[in-house]
Amino acid sequence: GGFGGKRAHRQTSNMPRRGQNCDASVYVSFEEAAKGCKKTVSYEHTEVCGSCGGSGAKNGTAAKTCPQCGGSGQVRVSQRTPFGLIQTTRTCDRCGGSGKEIDSPCPLCGGTGRTRENKTIEVN
């Protein structure tokens, strides 16, 4: 579709992806900076839901393929214009681009497949 005849394909991979950077402000005195010290830093982190394993579906249920986009997360829209028929691709409204529908969402993550966790680390 489109003018060039080429389509953009969304590529998914099972390989782990690098996470987002985390910024935290830690205040140290001049003496601590010169001599060194340990500080505890707390931050919020998004993780795969431990209850549903990231599927977003309640245990014992499964996500279904979205009937509107057929699981691609994209729908093709055709518009007739004075210049001819123009086809565009957009994100599916029904599934929000995920390609799946969840009838019974996981109660822990609400169907997102992710939970926010508070983490604490010690830095030198």
Considering the domain architecture, whether residues 74 and 54 belong to the same structural domain is answered as no
Is 47 a member of any domain?
yes
- Domain residues for the domain of 77 are 64-101
Residue 9: pLDDT band with limits 50, 70, 90: very low
88-102 pLDDT per residue, tens: 999 999 998 989 999
Domains contained in the chain, number? 2
Contact in structure between 99 and 35 (CB atoms under 8 Å): no
Considering the entire predicted model, what is its pTM?
A: 0.52
Is 77 a member of any domain?
yes
Considering the domain architecture, whether residues 55 and 113 belong to the same structural domain is answered as yes
Considering the domain architecture, whether residues 122 and 69 belong to the same structural domain is answered as no
For residue 55, how many C-alpha atoms fall within 13 Å in the half-sphere facing its CB?
A: 17
Length of the chain: 124
Is 24 a member of any domain?
no
Is 68 a member of any domain?
yes
13-72 pLDDT per residue, tens: 556 667 677 777 888 899 988 998 998 988 888 899 999 988 899 988 988 999 999 999
For residue 28, how many C-alpha atoms fall within 13 Å in the half-sphere facing its CB?
A: 16
